Amino acid sequence: MKEKVIIGMSGGVDSAVGAYLLIKEGYDVEALFMRNWDSMLNNDTLGNPNLENEICPQEQDYNDAKKVCEILGIKLHRIDFVKEYWDNVFTYFLNELKKGRTPNPDLLCNKYIKFDAFKKEAKRLGAKYIATGHYARLKNNKLLRAVDLNKDQTYFLAGLKKEQLENVLFPIGELTKPEVRQIAIDIGLNVAKKKDSTGICFIGERNFQKFIQNYLKPNPGKIINVETKEVIGTHQGLMNYTIGQRKNTGISGYDERHYVCGKNVSDNILYIAFGKDNKYLISNSCILEDVNFITDKRPTSCSAKFRYRSEDVSVNLQYLENNEIKVIYPQGFKAVTPGQFCVFYDHDECLGSGIIKKVMKDDEELWYLK
């Protein structure tokens, strides 16, 4: 008897090829499309007669997923996790923005939706395994980076508990993105050349500032040069900016590159530093909270990523009380950002993560990031 696996079908090429590979391996494959966001909420097409007949991206994804399943000859389930997403992901996202931090909802979506709510639903449907189109690998109960390091998504899986990765399959983890696309072309999948989705799923192609104003009111304040303490502009709300950002800062008249280096939430101040190597962008330690380890390892030294696309950094770890860790990187690193996840690695193995709580230099918390 074939073992049953349900794959999360997003309407993209990765999960589509993943389903095909599972079928080739001899599994009894079904698919499930997760609706995590109410597309009618703050839909920019509403009230616009030129756009009202357009299909929203989420429904287009569902239609694409349905077509994939027709081509592959497998059953497609559809389920709403809108409430779960709102309660566990979006509410957290808003609360973090209010604190002046920069949250990453993708890690929480994996923790609470794809590897919790979805997993429970798959079990209810009789599946032994779940699968996703993530670029990652599981070997000997270890979460490993994907073969395609440019597409590796272990960063987004680092908030999972060890048991959440039990009975999980990552069918495309051994492939590169070009190989995945070629398979899709070879078997005639409708999504073979579909563009990858980017950004935060509930915002899509919409302008972030316009979208977030539906939930958080604009709160203009001063933009201050962190070195001279001179007021050089006005921001439209701290939630619209992240540390290290150099575009759309709202400052004109300055030819030299300028970067967001800090936020003062209590005084509603945005701090700007000039020059890409400005010392105010650099820290050499930070405190993590809500630390999560996927393995039993508790290293005192390893490598870490401070955001998804950053390079690996050699770090030393000091274990503190209250599930906190001090991460030390004497060489210094640019734009470490409160609210983001720091993810630990031992070569290819992803060990776990923590949320950046405080950013420091020479053991002093950066005054412009409080």
Compute CA distances 11 → 32, 102, 174, 265, 315, whole Å. Answer: 10, 28, 21, 39, 38
Catalytic residue from among 201, 302, 342, 350: 201
Catalytic residue from among 56, 69, 109, 286: 109
As a 3-state breakdown, the chain gives helix, strand, coil percent values, each rounded to 5, of 25, 30, 45
What residues have CB less than 8 Å from 76, skipping those under 6 apart?
A: 9, 30, 31, 32, 33, 65, 66, 69
d(CA 265, CA 49): 40
Mapped to the 3 state alphabet, what secondary structure does 175-238 carry? CCHHHHHHHHHHCCCCCCCCCCCCCCCCCCCCCHHHHHCCCCCCCCEEEEECCCCCEEEEECCH
User: β-pairing, 364-365 with 325-334?
Assistant: unpaired
Q: Known catalytic residue: 201?
A: yes
Radius of gyration for the alpha carbons in the chain, expressed in angstroms and rounded: 22
d(CA 66, CA 77): 9
| Cβ atoms of residues 102 and 241 within 8 Å | no
Amino acid residing at 242: T
Query: HSE (CB half, 13 Å, CA atoms) of 223?
Result: 21
d(CA 62, CA 319): 45
Retrieve residue 271's tokens. Answer: 């701090």
Catalytic residues: 109, 201
